Chains A and B, each alone.
Chain A
């Protein structure tokens, strides 16, 4: 039996408890939860409302309004009323695609986006901090004092920049962040601890704007994330948009004014929500032009127009299962998270895919905040006060991390789904004689070529004393902490010269970029493998040619004429194939040249000059 959150045997007195809270900072709404009596509960506002709309308005008199009271201003004062700020976290203007789709005034800048508002220029971190401040106030009022610490949730697919931005926002709101927690993992904690679950579970998290899937093994109090996948540009909003398009089509509407677009999107959303309980939903609206719309949307039509969206969620599911090396039959249960999972067609699709109905005991809107509250409670040390055994959370990194190496290729240092925290070091060396600096380029993504991955940081290790190529030993170390945040350092081993960087890019991957990159990585896996193999074989060929020529100059006397001619012929053929694009021909030529020079290499080793030909370890790759 795991930690019980519904019926504590003996709730500890309040004075012994430290105040901690879990915060779900969502795209459309945010929540705060805590365990004031040893029971995880969401904290409502003074009117009893649990969900705080993630909307911030900067008013005429310098006031900042957050939540329900800001909602009416979305249409009337769009430039100063910011919704869905989560989509802007850690993003640059270039990442947004068409920035004009947002009703905001953008500041032209190369870093993270900034908006011009009545209250001055604001970045997404500052705006998110306003939402967090409102939740902090709510929690501190109800818990009767300052919070010791909080756990803030992020989508599993958030990259380094988005995580950094979220943590900054919480600090700006005066919160002590104990941990950033992946949303699906939080849901698993809330669900697993409550139900004493054991076995492998899948968390299907369809939020307003993102889709995450995580595979976790729950075993005697250990939550081990086995794999995570997702689509950071797929969510409930897309379903609203489908209905919106259906309305346009059915009512034969001309291009609409911005306020009518907002109106129809709202109508579309409420029709979608109605269909979770009913077979039909009325679609009624009067536009600013006086046009009146009166339609009926049936569940059948709704299912039909959103079928491809539902299908789209199945691909990440399959990939996550494959990464975890599991089949559908091995899944003990599926937990639904996110308001969008209330849609009956989602539940049907999930049930069909997993051959079992999904688990829906906990409110999909609240389950993430509840899990975060349980984790926060444990981290501040209240764990011992509540019944239940110890438990432990083991998470993974969602995207691969690597370095740029020769030929514009990525040398992966940390594969995706590696357990965190982790420290991974790899030795590199210099490529040219007398090279005194090494350019280090850190990238994130699944593709083989640097140009197809996201650039996270660049830095230089300078002051390497001049040595012959290949003599320097530069150890590059990646460290990822329990929040999934990365830092990279480089150190030349023989001299101790050091350089390091905490990876704090001004902005990270575009919302759709991760999805696209993953999509392409799988679609292009074939091309990539070929391209990579070709470049690698070419590099190998160059090295063999260079090394052999060098060896021939030094130790040519070890060969008789016939042997020498054979090596020369093999090298000529290799050099010729090197210029072409035929991988198999090049491989063959390389194998031949290797064979032709094997005996020569052996004799040179006997002469104990092997250093010139080898001395390169499997973990040392030449950086350009």
Chain B
């Protein structure tokens, strides 16, 4: 197994944001079947350790590609960008929107307004969709996007990260 290869080529996928989940899932299983510690149950300690590391590597790559935020972050890094940080600057309008949406969710939750929560969920999903489509367009082929495009992509990934946290919070509220 080539651990120097990027995660996309590891699974035989093109280095793009849009993802063929069927290929990902199948390659994941094929790879693990080859490197899983179960294949070396009777081997020496070194072989067992290597199997754990390789299987862990495949599990990690799978986890990164499967997740829309981690995949975006990873693509940015593939094209020479810094990983997502905490001191990133997001547009004030977006932050204000987020603050409002969260407050609306708090209010709806306290009032037990399931319809309102549902409506917030629908618009949240829409925004996630839009941003993922934008990312798919920005990372559409193996070429490195322009600096401006990369900066745009970064904003989308950061926003998706924000939205994902809100989604967790919202789904907890909807379950309660």
Point out residues on A near B: beta carbons under 8 Å.
148-149, 178-179, 219-220, 222, 322, 378-381, 390, 392-394, 418-424, 479, 481-482, 525-526, 529, 584, 587, 591, 595, 598, 613-619
Contact = CB atoms under 8 A, between A and B. Distances in A.
A595 to B, nearest CB: 7
A521 to B, nearest CB: 12
Interface stretch (B81-89, B113-121, B132-140): B81-89
A419 B59 contact: yes
18 contacts: A219-B29, A222-B29, A380-B42, A392-B36, A421-B37, A421-B51, A421-B55, A423-B56, A482-B36, A482-B55, A526-B172, A526-B176, A587-B99, A591-B95, A615-B87, A616-B86, A618-B83, A618-B86
B169 interface: yes
B42 A379 contact: yes
A620 to B, nearest CB: 8
| Prevailing SS type, chain A contact patch | mixed
Interface residues of B, number: 33
A149 B42 contact: yes
A421 B59 contact: yes
B24 interface: no
Contacts of B95: 591
Nearest to B169: A529
Given A529-B172, A618-B83, A618-B84, A392 B32 contact: yes
B37 A617 contact: no
A82 B37 CA distance: 36
B53 interface: yes
Given A222-B29, A591-B99, A149 B85 contact: no
Given A392-B33, A584-B106, A617-B84, 4 more contacts: A423-B57, A479-B56, A529-B169, A587-B99
B38 interface: yes
Nearest to A617: B85
A618 B56 contact: no
Contact of A379 (B41, B57, B84): B41
B111 interface: no
Contacts of B106: 584
A591 B94 CA distance: 13
Nearest to A605: B89
Contacts of B172: 525-526, 529
Nearest to B175: A322
Contact of A149 (B41, B59, B176): B41
Contacts of A378: 38
B67 to A, nearest CB: 12
A422 B59 contact: yes
A340 B85 CA distance: 52
Contacts of B42: 148-149, 178, 379-381
B108 interface: no
B127 interface: no
B41 A179 contact: yes
A617 B176 contact: no
Contact of B38 (A479, A482, A614, A618): A482
B1 interface: no
A422 B41 contact: no
B38 A393 contact: yes
A392 B60 contact: no
B148 interface: no
A252 B167 CA distance: 56
B38 A422 contact: no
Contacts of A525: 172
Interface in B84-111: 84-87, 89, 92, 95, 99, 103, 106
B13 interface: no
A523 B62 CA distance: 32
B52 A614 contact: no
B36 to A, nearest CB: 6
A335 B43 CA distance: 34
A566 to B, nearest CB: 16
A406 to B, nearest CB: 14
A379 B169 contact: no
A222 B26 CA distance: 10
B52 A482 contact: yes
